Amino acid sequence: MSRCHAIGAVRRGARRLRWDVYRVSVRGRLALWHALAVMGRPRIQMMEESARGPIIGDDDPVRALAPFHSGAATKPAYRYSARVDGRAWVEPRYGYVITAPAALIYFSGVPPLIGYARMRAMRRGIRREDAVLTLRHPFDTNYFHALFDVLPRVAMADAAGMPHNTPILISRRLAETPFFGAWMTRGDLARRRWLVQDDSYVEAATVWYARSDMADRALLDRALDLIDAPHADPLATDRIFLGRSLARGRSLSNMAAIAPILDRYGVRVVDADDLPADEQMRLFAGVRVVVGLHGAGLSNLLFRRGAPLDLVELCPPIGATLDFCGLARVYGYGYYRIVGADASDATRAANYSIDPAALDATLQTILSTLPAATG
């Protein structure tokens, strides 16, 4: 086929393609999310589904501390695991599942239609498997999303009856992150077969996929077991300040005023970015008090597994969600929130300052009832 004929075939195919975009509803059916035209129905078997209300309701007093950027903890949520039977493809750019002839299983957004047309017309750029579990996610390299949205899907698929030897599909960018690379070598994940998706479509007769829920403590604990995360020490007394450098943004501009307070209360400074994944797990499994800047590093609180902990979250004046407050509610952690001021600019990445007196009073309240730190 000449280049001109090939281009013409792709264009004609793109004009003929009609997309169905579906989203799984809590009532056990597929609700129409968006449709240019109806063309076929994906064969989806729902393995599990449930719904919940917000972790933090509209009338919760903490909502006043983050009125605009409230995050997932303030929204209703549903979780599900499902299996698509029949020929389906996982497209490479975003990881959407597409069933024959052209039905898009909704994750978020819309993938490039021309790429799918080219693949169907020319039958090139395809990797074929009997079955796959897709862990593709638009924000999979974000540590928070990897822990709460990506890793739990393996536990959900296992519970739904997925064979243990089913290949697990991830993006190249996720495979190359140090933390996920470390997880893949631990515990049960080390015994799995991994497929790293580059520019090729992955075609399979069965595709497993799922959506997790950060409010499901049992699910999150099962996900931690997959990577053989250490169990928490309930008698731990360690106190840490989880910070980040000014160069990275969203850091403290008045750290010089904060450092003496931390030192007085025996709170040592750490930066999770400087620690390998294994050390991060051990650190947070054995910590009792965390003073931390709002950001993905606080996701490590998951490794405390519900053992006693108090969190003091230091938040920028712009853009801090209530997700870590929600996590504290799920696991029963003590939670304190101090909102900063004097942002260096109007962006979410701006550096900011924290009132030293507010931090001093908060730590005094927490530590007045705790034994002295050891070690």
The 10s digit of each residue's pLDDT in 299-346 is 999 999 999 999 999 998 877 889 999 999 999 999 999 998 887 776
Q: Note whether 322 and 298 are within 8 A (CB).
A: no
Mean pLDDT of 104-133: 66
Mean pLDDT of 276-297: 94
Q: Note whether 75 and 2 are within 8 A (CB).
A: no
Residue 53: how many other CB atoms lie within 10 Å: 10
One-letter amino acid for residue 241 of the chain = F
Mean pLDDT of 226-246: 92
Q: What is the DSSP string of 116-149?
A: HHHHHHH--SEEEEEEEEE---TTTTSHHHIIII
98-102, 126-130, 196-200: least confident range: 98-102
Residue 77 has pLDDT above 50, yes or no: yes
Helices assigned H by DSSP within the chain:
3-16, 113-122, 143-145, 152-159, 172-175, 178-183, 217-226, 255-264, 277-285, 323-331, 356-367
pLDDT score of 118: 64
Using pLDDT thresholds of 50, 70 and 90, give the confidence band for residue 114.
low
pLDDT score of 277: 93
pLDDT score of 30: 34
Give residue for tokens 């638009």.
138
HEC per residue, 262-317: HHHCCCEEECHHHCCHHHHHHHHHCEEEEEEECCHHHHHHHHHCCCCCEEEEEECC
Using pLDDT thresholds of 50, 70 and 90, give the confidence band for residue 269.
very high
The 10s digit of each residue's pLDDT in 160-213 is 999 999 999 999 999 999 999 999 999 999 999 999 999 888 999 999 999 999
The 10s digit of each residue's pLDDT in 143-152 is 999 999 999 9
Percent of the chain with pLDDT over 90: 51
Average per-residue pLDDT in the chain?
82
pLDDT score of 70: 65
The DSSP bridge partners found for residue 238 are 287
Q: Crossing angle for the helix pair 113-122 and 3-16, nearest 10 degrees?
A: 120
| Distance (Å, whole) CA 78 – CA 156 | 13
pLDDT score of 349: 75
Domains and CATH numbers, the chain: 3-226 (no CATH), 238-367 (3.40.50.360)
Mean pLDDT of 14-25: 38
Exposure string of 286-320, with b = 16+ CB inside 10 Å and e = fewer, is bbbbbbbbbbbbbbbbbbbbebbbbbbbbbbebbb
Q: 92 versus 256: which is more confidently predicted?
A: 256
Q: 264 versus 12: which is more confidently predicted?
A: 264
